[in-house]
Structure 1
Amino acid sequence: MRQQTLRLPLPERYDYHAWVRHAGVEAACNRLALWIVHGGMLWLTSSSVAGKTHLIRLLRHEHPTLALIEVDASVQSSSLALVRQWHEHLQDAPFWAVDVQAAPLPRGTQLALFHLIERARDMHRPLLLSWRVPAETRLPPELSTRLRGVLERVEMAPPSRDGALHEILLSAARSWQWEVEPRVLETLLHTLPRRLDILLAGLRHLEECTRLHRKPHPGRGWVREQLQQWLARSAIGDPGA
């Protein structure tokens, strides 16, 4: 019996089998594989959306000894309170990971990151900091010094070829239990700017539209129209334009 696809939107699953390994992430994958064995202090970063959060969650799933905290840029709190909260969660784990939202951080959060790096050093805990620092961000000198002088910088990059982009989009759709058809992905790639964050957001929008309008087999014209309307409402531009 064919399993019926659920009509409700499902949260994204972080599954090892859903990870697409391509040239832009190969070096980072290899470096993290060494880190989870030998330790160290790493700063995982990228110039644009590249899958850092997904990779860290895969690492956490495969290695229960890794404790992970997520830093929300919208939270306003003192550095002391944040460090205390983070440390309570991390202190018993042999490996620490911190995933920071790619948005301007309050100064208290920035200083808390500095103090957390210092605690990791004092306690000899391997630390993995995942953070794409926005270009306009002005960091406190002490945090800037630690990022560039203490942590080893590890770069990730989004895929540059259509084949890898297609695989990533297909993997994302499957994680939502959406049996997306090839023509939908082809139209998506031809309609939207070649930025992974925009493509994934556009794909999610299409998934919601197909559920809302009950279109399990949308045509190219309908897909293109939905994407163009969404793009206009979102006011997203191509940074290369």
Structure 2
Amino acid sequence: MRWVLALVLASCYRPAPSPGAPCAPDDTCPTGLTCKRDLCVLPGAADDAAPADGPQDISTPVDSSVNLTGCADKSREGFADVADFPTIAGCAASWEGAKDLRASRSGGTCGNDLGECDAPVDACAEGWSICGDDGDPTILSTRATAAQCASGASTGAFAAALSHCSAFPASACEYVLPLGCLVSGSCSEPVCCGPACRGDQGCTGGVYSEPDTLIAAVFDEGCGAMTTTSISGVLCCDD
């Protein structure tokens, strides 16, 4: 009698397939279910349904280690407002003796509490370099107007890595591109931004229209052999 009852129950039991189980390797599912996104689901289930635990936040987290100031010491002295000047910064820098403003990075960092620079560009953050190191004056002029350059810092003078002209013969100034980074002599003084820069040189059209291009230093301190006796630091532009 028990055997007959078990047979009757077995013949009447028709379990409904349970959705949510993984699909078989050949993407098959029990009768009544279909395979979507590697899961067996009821026919007609939304293909783009959110995961069971709700929508996921896929926004990219902000990397707090990224230096947005443009200066290795994370402090701007020139063009201080990052929102207004996101691609140019005046960075405090000092070094011993005369150095080439286009010298390669030393691998160290410098500026303010970081100490003196082994190379002037070490004052710029990673991904930034001294403005004009390729001799292109528009690298500077497209980031700041002449008026902004002149007043880009509350105090001081910040040098770019290009001399303010290519030659200064008796007849007229020459601006042959790319501008070099001369060691000394006529035209050698680097372009400069800041209220302590000079505007009394003979050639004033290297970056901005005459007479708006400013320079740093004196005749015997060119872009290729610059000391920090007459500047506060360097101009850094994002790469």
- Taking structure 2 as the reference length, the TM-score comes to 0.25
Q: Which is higher, the Rg of structure 1 or of structure 2?
A: 2
The TM-score with structure 1 as length reference comes to 0.24
Q: Which has the higher helix share?
A: 1
